[in-house]
Structure 1
Amino acid sequence: MRFSSIQRILGILMMIFSFTLLPPVLVSLIYQDHAAEGFLIAFFVTVTIGLLAWLPVRNIRHELRLQDGFVIVALFWGVLSLIGSLPFMLSEQPHMSLTDSFFESISGLTTTGATVITNLDEMPKAILFYRQQLQWLGGMGIIVLAVAVLPMLRIGGMQLYKAETPGPMKDTKLTPRITETAKALWIIYLSLTIVCALAYWLAGMTLFDAIGHAFSTIAIGGFSTHDASMGFFENPLIHLIAIVFMFIAGINFALHFMAYRGKTLRDYWHDSEFRFYSGILLFASIAVVAFLYFSGIYNGRESVIKGVFQLVSFATTSGFTTADFNQWPGFVAILLLFTSFIGACAGSTGGGIKVIRVLLLIKQGAREVKRLIHPSAQIPVRVGDKVISPRVIDAVWGFFALYVASYTVMYLALAATGLDLMTAFSAVAAAMNNLGPGLGSVSSNYAAINDPAKWILCFGMLLGRLEIFTLLVLLSPGFWRR
Structure 2
Amino acid sequence: MHSRVILKVFGLLLMVYSISLLPPIMVGLYYQDGGLNSFTSVMIGVLLTGLFIWYPVRNHSRDLKIRDGFIIVVMFWVVLGLAGAIPFFLDEDVPLSLTDSIFESFSGLTTTGATVITGLDNLPHAFLWYRQQLQWLGGMGIIVLAVAILPMLGIGGMQLYRAETPGPIKDSKIAPRISETAKALWYIYLGLTLACAIGYWLAGMNWFDAFSHSFSTVAIGGFSTHDASIAYFDSIEVEIVAIVFMLLSGINFALHFTAFRSLSGYAYFRDPEFKAYAALLFGASLVAVAYLYFQEVYDSWYDAVRYGLFQTVSLATTTGFANADFSIWPGFLPIMLIFMSFIGGSAGSTAGGMKVIRFVLLFKQGMREVNGLLHPNAIMPVKLSGKTIPEKVMMAVWGFLAVYVFTFALLMLVIMALGVDQVTAFSAMAATMNNLGPGLGEVAANYQALSDPVKWVLTFAMLLGRLEIFTLLVLFTAAFWRK
2:381 maps to what in 1? 380
The Cα shift of 1:4 comes to 1.1
Q: C-alpha offsets along residues 172-221 of structure 1, whole Å, 9 cap, x if unaligned?
A: 00010000000000000000000000000011001100000000000000
Please, which runs of 5 or more residues in structure 1 have no aligned partner?
A: none
The Cα shift of 1:21 comes to 1.0
Q: C-alpha offsets along residues 392-414 of structure 1, whole Å, 9 cap, x if unaligned?
A: 00000000000001101110011
Q: Distance in 1 between matches of 2:417 and 2:59?
A: 49
Q: Distance in 2 between matches of 1:41 and 1:355?
A: 42
The letter of the residue matching 1:96 is: L
The Cα shift of 1:17 comes to 0.1
Alignment of 1:384-463 (within 5 A): 384-463=385-464
1:137 maps to what in 2? 137
The Cα shift of 1:383 comes to 1.1
Is the partner of 1:227 in helix, strand or coil? coil
Following TM superposition, the consecutive aligned residue runs of length 4 or more in structure 1 with deviations greater than 2 angstroms are none
Whether 1:58 and 2:62 are equivalent positions in the alignment is no
Q: Distance in 2 between matches of 1:272 and 1:288?
A: 24
The letter of the residue matching 1:440 is: G
Is the partner of 2:194 in helix, strand or coil? helix
Is the partner of 1:330 in helix, strand or coil? coil
Q: Distance in 1 between matches of 2:168 and 2:79?
A: 26
The letter of the residue matching 1:338 is: F
2:165 maps to what in 1? 165
The Cα shift of 1:34 comes to 2.1
2:321 maps to what in 1? 320
The Cα shift of 1:330 comes to 3.0
Q: Distance in 2 between matches of 1:312 and 1:473?
A: 33
1:287 maps to what in 2? 287
Q: Distance in 1 between matches of 2:24 and 2:244?
A: 28
2:90 maps to what in 1? 90
1:197 maps to what in 2? 197
The Cα shift of 1:95 comes to 2.4
Deviates most, 323-332 or 159-168 = 323-332
Q: Distance in 1 between matches of 2:331 and 2:416?
A: 21
Is the partner of 1:245 in helix, strand or coil? helix
Alignment of 1:208-357 (within 5 A): 208-298=208-298, 299-357=300-358
Q: With structure 2 as the length reference, what TM-score do the two structures score?
A: 0.99
Q: Distance in 2 between matches of 1:220 and 1:455?
A: 23
Q: Distance in 2 between matches of 1:93 and 1:446?
A: 19
Q: C-alpha offsets along residues 93-148 of structure 1, whole Å, 9 cap, x if unaligned?
A: 11211111110011001000000000101111100000000000000011100100
Is the partner of 1:85 in helix, strand or coil? helix
Please, which runs of 5 or more residues in structure 2 have no aligned partner?
A: none
Contact 2:93–2:123 (8 Å) recurs in 1:
yes
The Cα shift of 1:57 comes to 1.1
1:358 maps to what in 2? 359
Q: Distance in 2 between matches of 1:329 and 1:53?
A: 55
Q: Distance in 2 between matches of 1:80 and 1:296?
A: 47
Q: Distance in 2 between matches of 1:448 and 1:28?
A: 30
1:80 maps to what in 2? 80
Q: C-alpha offsets along residues 292-335 of structure 1, whole Å, 9 cap, x if unaligned?
A: 00011112101001000000000000000111111101311011
1:120 maps to what in 2? 120
Q: C-alpha offsets along residues 402-449 of structure 1, whole Å, 9 cap, x if unaligned?
A: 000110111001101101110010000000000000110101110110
Whether 1:30 and 2:9 are equivalent positions in the alignment is no
Q: Distance in 1 between matches of 2:151 and 2:54?
A: 17
Q: C-alpha offsets along residues 328-359 of structure 1, whole Å, 9 cap, x if unaligned?
A: 01311011100000000000000000000011
Q: Distance in 1 between matches of 2:103 and 2:280?
A: 31
Q: Across the two proteins, how many residue pairs are aligned to each other? A: 482
Aligned-pair RMSD on alpha carbons? 0.6
The letter of the residue matching 2:225 is: T
Q: Distance in 2 between matches of 1:56 and 1:372?
A: 63
The letter of the residue matching 1:384 is: S
Q: Distance in 1 between matches of 2:303 and 2:32?
A: 39
Q: Distance in 1 between matches of 2:91 and 2:243?
A: 34
The Cα shift of 1:59 comes to 1.2
Q: Distance in 2 between matches of 1:445 and 1:31?
A: 27
Q: C-alpha offsets along residues 45-104 of structure 1, whole Å, 9 cap, x if unaligned?
A: 101111111112111111100110000000000000011111101111112111111100
Q: Distance in 1 between matches of 2:234 and 2:345?
A: 27
Deviates most, 244-253 or 87-96 = 87-96
| Percent sequence identity over aligned pairs | 58
Q: Distance in 1 between matches of 2:33 and 2:414?
A: 40
The letter of the residue matching 1:353 is: M
Q: C-alpha offsets along residues 233-260 of structure 1, whole Å, 9 cap, x if unaligned?
A: 1110110110010000000000000001
Q: Distance in 1 between matches of 2:319 and 2:386?
A: 31
1:174 maps to what in 2? 174
Q: Distance in 1 between matches of 2:101 and 2:56?
A: 30
Q: Distance in 2 between matches of 1:413 and 1:308?
A: 34
Is the partner of 2:475 in helix, strand or coil? helix
The Cα shift of 1:35 comes to 1.3
Whether 1:103 and 2:103 are equivalent positions in the alignment is yes
Q: Distance in 2 between matches of 1:232 and 1:399?
A: 39
Q: Distance in 2 between matches of 1:99 and 1:9?
A: 28
Q: Distance in 2 between matches of 1:383 and 1:306?
A: 35
1:149 maps to what in 2? 149
